[in-house]
Amino acid sequence: MTIRRFTVLAILLAVCVTSYMVWRGNEDHREFPEKLEEAIRLCRMRTYHDPNYDYEVQYPSFFEQLPDSLIDEPGFSQFRYWDNWVQIELTTRVLPNEDSLSTQEGMQRFAQLHHANEQIIQGDSFLLSGPLYVNGSEIPNYRYHSKYVRHRRFWFVQMLVYPIHCEKAVRRLIQQVDDWRVWSPVC
């Protein structure tokens, strides 16, 4: 092999290796929960207004809204995100307070019903968190965080369901549930 061919091949090899390294260097090598956390932290929030009960709830713009035409429960709304075998749901609903339970009594009843291991009372509302159960069976590696607001003969409920390994990623949504006010104050 002549020196000229060797030089040309060496330069081509160097260009290929450099191009590959630059191309690989532009990939995002972070774990999925880190990418999700950034997406939730930086995204624009949309506002859903319930036409039946007049409440509002905010959800990330990249979540998919379950169409109203698929819902037969007044006051129910659901927003979902599904990617990398991860499902996150933000749900709101209105439940009747048929037994006229106080906030404390409601917290005890719903905490037992939903297997809550964290309970915080806040005036006319309370927060519940715990492992996710569906039809009496625990869903492995999933949790929920919810807020119940008592108003007259109703419970206004917002619930976030998420995988345990994404708890840090959904921190903004957990805080949003904690801060939820069913109706915005009138100025």
Which CATH number is 31-179 given? 3.40.1000.10
Residue 132, token pair as written in the block: 């996710």
Average pLDDT over residues 112-124: 96
Start-to-end CA span in the chain (Å): 84
Average pLDDT over residues 37-64: 94
* Residue 84 pLDDT class (50, 70, 90 cuts): confident
Cβ within 8 Å of residue 106, ≥6 positions away: 97, 126, 148, 150, 155
- Residue 72: predicted pLDDT: 85
CB 143 within 8 Å of CB 164 = yes
Amino acid at 144: Y
Is residue 9 packed enough to be buried (19+ CB in 10 Å), middle (13-18) or exposed (0-12)?
exposed
Cβ within 8 Å of residue 178, ≥6 positions away: 127, 147
Rounded to two decimals, the pTM is: 0.82
pLDDT digits (tens, 9 = 90+) for 143-154: 999 999 999 899
Q: Is the pLDDT of residue 27 over 70?
A: no
Helix (H, G, I), strand (E, B) or coil at 63: coil
Give the start-to-end residue ranges of the domains of the chain.
Answer: 1-30, 31-179
d(CA 126, CA 101): 13
